[in-house]
Amino acid sequence: MTAPSEKLLLFGATGDLSQRMLLPSLYGLAADGLLPADLAIVATARSEHDDGAFRAFAETALRRFVPSERLDEEALASFLKRVSYVPVDASKESDFAALAEAVGSTDKGLSIFLSTAPSLFEATIQGLAKAGLAGDGVRIGLEKPLGYDMASSRHINDAVAAVFPEDRTFRIDHYLGKETVQNLLALRFANSLFEPLWNAGGIDHVQITVSETVGLEGRVGFYDGAGAIRDMVQNHMLQLLALVAMEPPAQFNATAVRDEKVKVLRSLRPIDRATVQAQSVIGQYGAGAVAGGAVPGYLDELGKPSDTETFVAIKAHIDNWRWNGVPFYLRTGKRLPSRQSEIFIQFKGVPHSIFDGRGAVLQPNKLIIRLQPDENVRLLLMSKEPGLDRDGIRLREVPLDISMPNAFADTRRRIAYERLLLDLVEGDQTLFVRRDEVEAQWEWVDAIRDGWAANAMRPKPYTAGTWGPSAAIALTERDGVTWHD
């Protein structure tokens, strides 16, 4: 088993991700005694801080973003003692020498969390290598975005591979750190109930929705160059699809799990120039209302013309034995009515209803796996309504709910990054993305984007606070399917 690192190097330590997620995650792990006792955390960013100034910065962030009931003064003081800071400008080779001096020996292991603009990946990797921070005991975690298409992704991955082999490279998709995403594997592979039906014989269709109520929220530069398909579909949503559709791995380990995921991604039916108009819809939000308040349109927020899509809906197929003929509907967008990440699985109806002519209307069973904002698993079943049935038997769809916070009330819910940072420090790659997965995802997404361009498809307008363009409704209703809102 891989030995835990004794040092953690945290790039982008003054950024929003660090303040909201990384520092609170590391504090939570330290407070619960889960980090190696002697783990030293070296933080770095371009800002000019010394150790004391950064510790004060980190303390402010922790007091703001860690719930008060979890903030222990003694644990906080102990955590801050672990932290030091070195300013680094990735464009200056001399800064990496100073960083290496601050980190010291990596003989007992160093884990690096790298969150930077794609344009700085190569310079940063080379700087780490020249400074001696890429030896055998060093592993690197890479936060997205890792490029904006297949070519740029390969360029970044080639630069990383020249210094860090695949078994020391940890590509991060924070969705894989969510409890309910991992629980999807438990639901499928730790229970005999679902597996016999988890195929084209038992499932009618699958929907995956990741909706946001926010607009640009300070991400103008990144988002307008990415759009919804590269921001959400290429990574988070395709990973969820792979976990839903994968074959049972032989074991729960990094190699077996990721082997099965990549098989699914390579089995995705290409959506090309000939099929893209029938199998995808893109939209861009205009002014409207969300949560009772007026919000501006995308172009108003951006301040210039743009054809960037803020909404995308796709009808996907997986061309393999298990999923032949089963559509997977993917939908994501900004300024939608609610914030949710959800997997909706509709099973096929019973082959023959004994209740026909008795006034009973049967609904197919449905499994709803909610990832956020509330983690929940719900199974919808048909049940008889109480009564004497003088006018015919009455059936009603009733839910069986497993609310994760209630079912595990005695266990603290973890931030996704807690799991991922701990796995990085301990060297477990199971919940990280392998290079062949990334490239299979980009190959599928690039073909869709090429189809949009070749067919001069422009985003259809939709009002903020609605579920996207009406064409997205038609995408499913042509198949007799309704989006689960």
Give the bridge partners for 261, in sequence order. Answer: none
pLDDT tens digits, residue range 14-45?
999 999 999 999 999 999 999 998 999 999 99
Q: Cβ distance 427 to 139 under 8 Å?
A: yes
Q: Cβ distance 265 to 434 under 8 Å?
A: no
205 is catalytic: no
Average pLDDT over residues 448-464: 97
pTM above 0.85, yes or no: yes
- Which residue from 34, 12, 332 is spatially nearest to 144, judged by alpha carbons? 12
Mean pLDDT over the full length of the chain: 91
- The token pair that represents 84 in the structure block: 């030091």
- Which residue from 162, 13, 17, 39 is spatially nearest to 422, judged by alpha carbons? 39
Rounded to an integer, what distance in angstroms lies between the CA atom of residue 346 and that of residue 7?
47
Give the bridge partners for 139, in sequence order. Answer: 111
pLDDT tens digits, residue range 296-343?
999 999 989 999 999 999 999 999 999 999 999 999 999 999 999 999
Rounded to an integer, what distance in angstroms lies between the CA atom of residue 214 and that of residue 219?
11
Between the alpha carbon of residue 431 and those of residues 263, 326, 412, the distances in Å are 16, 26, 20
pLDDT at 436: 95
pLDDT at 372: 84
pLDDT at 421: 95
Rounded to an integer, what distance in angstroms lies between the CA atom of residue 144 and that of residue 437?
14
Q: Is 178 annotated as a binding residue?
A: yes
Share of the chain above pLDDT 70, in %: 96
Strands, E assignment, 173-251: 203-211
Q: Is 144 annotated as a binding residue?
A: yes
Is the pLDDT assigned to residue 359 strictly greater than 70?
no
Rounded to an integer, what distance in angstroms lies between the CA atom of residue 117 and that of residue 148?
11
Backbone angles phi, psi at 392, to 5 degrees: 110, 145
Give the bridge partners for 123, in sequence order. Answer: none
Between the alpha carbon of residue 65 and those of residues 20, 34, 68, 174, 368, the distances in Å are 6, 20, 9, 18, 30
Look at the block and give the residue holding tokens 């290598």. 129
DSSP state, 31? H
Q: Is 46 annotated as a binding residue?
A: yes
Q: Is 174 annotated as a binding residue?
A: yes
The 3-state DSSP class for residue 53 equals helix
**Which residue among the candidates 49, 236, 352, 484 is catalytic per the annotation?**
236
pLDDT tens digits, residue range 361-417?
788 999 999 988 888 889 999 888 787 776 677 888 888 887 766 666 666 777 889
pLDDT tens digits, residue range 216-271?
876 767 788 889 999 999 999 999 999 999 999 999 999 999 999 999 999 999 99
pLDDT tens digits, residue range 131-164?
999 989 999 999 887 889 999 999 999 999 999 9
Give the bridge partners for 8, in sequence order. Answer: 41, 111
Rg of the chain over CA atoms, in angstroms?
Answer: 24
Average pLDDT over residues 98-117: 91
Is the pLDDT assigned to residue 106 strictly greater than 70?
yes
Q: Give helix then strand counts, H and E, for the chain.
A: 17, 17
Is the pLDDT assigned to residue 1 strictly greater than 50?
no
For the chain, list the domains and their CATH numbers.
Answer: 7-172 (3.40.50.720), 178-414+434-478 (3.30.360.10)
Share of the chain above pLDDT 90, in %: 73
Min mean pLDDT across 33-37, 63-67, 349-353 is at 349-353
pLDDT tens digits, residue range 163-179?
999 999 999 998 888 88
Rounded to an integer, what distance in angstroms lies between the CA atom of residue 362 and that of residue 349?
8
DSSP state, 232? I
Residues in Cβ contact with 387 at an 8 Å cutoff, skipping those fewer than 6 apart: 394
Q: Is 334 annotated as a binding residue?
A: yes
